[in-house]
Amino acid sequence: MRSLHVTGGKPLFGALRVQGAKNSALPILAAAVLAEGVSVIRNCPRLTDTEAAVRILREVGCRVWEDGDALYVDSSGPVRPEIPSRLMREMRSSVIFLGPILARCGEARLSAPGGCEIGARPIDLHLRALRSLGAEIEERGGNLNCRAKRLRACRIDLPFPSVGATENTMLAACLGEGETVITGAAREPEIQDLQAFLNAAGGSVTGAGSSVIRVQGRERLHGAVHRVIPDRIAAATWLAACAAAGGDLRLYDTEWRHYRPVLHKLREMGCDLQTGENLVRIRSTGKLKAASPIVTRPYPGFPTDAQPPLMAAALTAEGTTAFQETIFESRFRHVPELRRMGADIRTEGRTALVWGVEKLYGAEVTAADLRGGAALVIAALAAEGESRIYGLQHLDRGYTAMEESLAELGAEIERKEDGDG
């Protein structure tokens, strides 16, 4: 079995380019199905999740090839309306292909994604929105059978700013008849990036970034060239790693305005942070102070995906840090593993209280989900002695070559097969 071997106690020094955003690349790859032509998606991160999306694109009839940091998607040919459940199971967010396939083909057949490690993750808001656009959706035995000759525009009020439901509705409405208005929409930067891609493909989408999005339906879209925005959660992860381990790190090709709440908390914890155009510099002694309560919220609030990395940084901070997770019902699965390293954390429901400890100690731990896995790596960098981290399939879903990046900054970290010396 493969694991990361990390010997902690080494501060991080140097510069790191931030990868393209996973949570932007995925909906944009799905959007390429809408475009009758060749789309060029630059700065597309190399991740197991984007590879899974590419398998789906090929399965439904698109030609996909790579060139440097760009993915080329040719969807000029006929698109098949079916995604086999083996591909749906590979990646929970495959549901984002539902809207584009239904809009492009007039039908879509796929299995419902089901829950994942961090929560039940229902798709009721996705289905409600598509039904409002006129889709007939039959749900049977975990399968979705959807039909709509042509989707008809309407007003959709989302009771919660779900990122996925907002994206699926934008995508479906692009080929609908008339103007769709989505109120209560998610405002994440990834939604704005999707709008930019759709408009480059001949769509007419406005309002992304606000809670009201308007989509003027078109007969068809064409291929487009687009550069994916930097990954704000990867940036937050690297900053939390430097905060915890100490050091002096410059991130470039990053948009700090996308993660202000994270910068605010790291400053409260005593890190010295400077921001510039596409640049953030952090300096930390590794001796941190506890932050005021961290409550996760939809954008522009504190991102739920940055909760585990920031918790890892708070483990050795002086004082107590409170975390409240308001987005997902089981997003503290990293806590028992952090306790193995000597962390002092009490949880109750969706609240966790972290009492800062003097030291963490290396241990054998297993990641249960993507961001929880990042928290284990960060804690291991700050710990005394060696840690072994298993469950790397979770990390590889969201970080491109994490250990190489950290090793470049001076960390003692290596991916090894059990039994390797």
Give me the catalytic one of 116, 146, 242, 271: 116
Q: From the CB of 327, what's the least distance to ligand EPZ, in Å? A: 5
Q: For residue 230, what are the contacts with CB-CB under 8 A and spacing of at least 6?
A: 18, 19, 20, 21, 43, 253, 254, 255, 258, 278
- Asked whether position 327 contacts ligand EPZ by CB under 6 A, the answer is yes
E strands, 8-62, in order = 12-17, 38-42
Q: How far apart are the first and last CA of the chain?
A: 14
User: Using alpha carbons only, what angle is made at residue 25 by residues 46 and 139, rounded to the nearest 5 degrees?
Assistant: 115
Nearer to ligand EPZ, 18 or 38 (CB): 18
Distance separating alpha carbons of residues 412 and 406, to the nearest angstrom: 8
Query: Which residue, judged by CB position, is nearest to ligand EPZ in the bound state?
Result: 164
The reply to whether 125 sits near ligand EPZ by the rule CB under 6 A is yes
> Which 30-89 positions form the footprint of ligand EPZ (CB under 6 A)?
none
User: Residue 185 or 317: which CB sits closer to ligand EPZ?
Assistant: 185
The Cα 211–Cα 199 span in angstroms is 18
- Residue 261 CB partners (closer than 8 Å, separation 6+): 300, 301, 302, 303
- Interaction between residue 304 and ligand EPZ (CB under 6 A): yes
Distance, in Å, from the CA atom of 346 to the CA atom of 246, rounded to the nearest integer, reads 25
Contact assessment for residue 282 and residue 272, using Cβ atoms and an 8 Å cutoff: yes
Interacting residues of 68 by C-beta distance below 8 A, sequence separation 6+? none
122 binds ligand EPZ (CB under 6 A): yes
Q: Is 116 a catalytic residue?
A: yes
Residue 298 region by backbone torsions, left for phi larger than 0, else alpha for psi between -120 and 50, else beta? beta
Q: Which of 1, 66, 77, 160 touches ligand EPZ by CB under 6 A?
A: 160
Q: In what order do the strands lie in the sheet with 344-348?
A: 294-295, 320-324, 351-355, 344-348
Closest to ligand EPZ by CB, 114 vs 410, is 114
Amino acid at 317: A
Assess 393 for contact with ligand EPZ (CB under 6 A).
Answer: no
Q: Is 168 in the site for ligand EPZ (CB under 6 A)?
A: no
189 binds ligand EPZ (CB under 6 A): no
272 forms part of the interface with ligand EPZ (CB under 6 A): no
163 binds ligand EPZ (CB under 6 A): yes
Verify binding: residue 370, ligand EPZ, rule CB under 6 A: yes
Q: Applying CB under 6 A, does 293 fall inside the site for ligand EPZ?
A: no
Q: How far is the CB of 23 from ligand EPZ (least distance, A)?
A: 3
Q: Which residues contact 46 (CB under 8 A, 6 or more apart)?
A: 400, 401
Shorter beta-carbon distance to ligand EPZ: residue 121 or 222: 121
Q: Which residue number, 116 or 279, has a Cβ lying nearer to ligand EPZ?
A: 116
Task: Map the footprint of ligand EPZ across residues 330-369, applying CB under 6 A.
Answer: none
Contact 366, 338 (CB under 8 A): no
Distance between CA atoms of residues 300 and 280, nearest Å: 19
| Residue number, 147 or 350, with CB nearest to ligand EPZ | 350
23 is a site residue for ligand EPZ (CB under 6 A): yes
Question: Least distance (Å) from ligand EPZ to the CB of residue 81?
Answer: 21
| Shortest Å distance, C-beta 372 to ligand EPZ | 9
Cα–Cα distance for residue pair 193/176, rounded to 1 Å: 20
Q: Which amino acid is at 319?
A: G
Piece in contact with ligand EPZ (CB under 6 A), picked from 33-41, 58-66, 78-86, 114-122 = 114-122
**Which residue, chain included where needed, has tokens 């009492």?**
355
CB of 91 to ligand EPZ, least distance (A): 8
Q: Site residues for ligand EPZ, window 221-260 (CB under 6 A)?
A: none
Strand order in the sheet with 179-183: 155-157, 179-183, 212-216, 204-206
Determine which residue in the list 16, 102, 165, 379 makes contact with ligand EPZ, applying CB under 6 A. Answer: 165
By CB under 6 A, the count of residues binding ligand EPZ is 24
26 is a site residue for ligand EPZ (CB under 6 A): yes
Cβ–Cβ < 8 Å for 308, 372: yes
Name the segment binding ligand EPZ (CB under 6 A); options: 3-11, 22-30, 72-80, 286-294: 22-30
To the nearest whole angstrom, how small is the minimum distance from the Cβ of residue 421 to ligand EPZ? 34
Q: Residues in the site for ligand EPZ, rule: CB under 6 A?
A: 22-23, 26, 93, 119, 121-126, 160, 162-165, 186, 304-305, 327-328, 370-371, 398
Active site members? 116
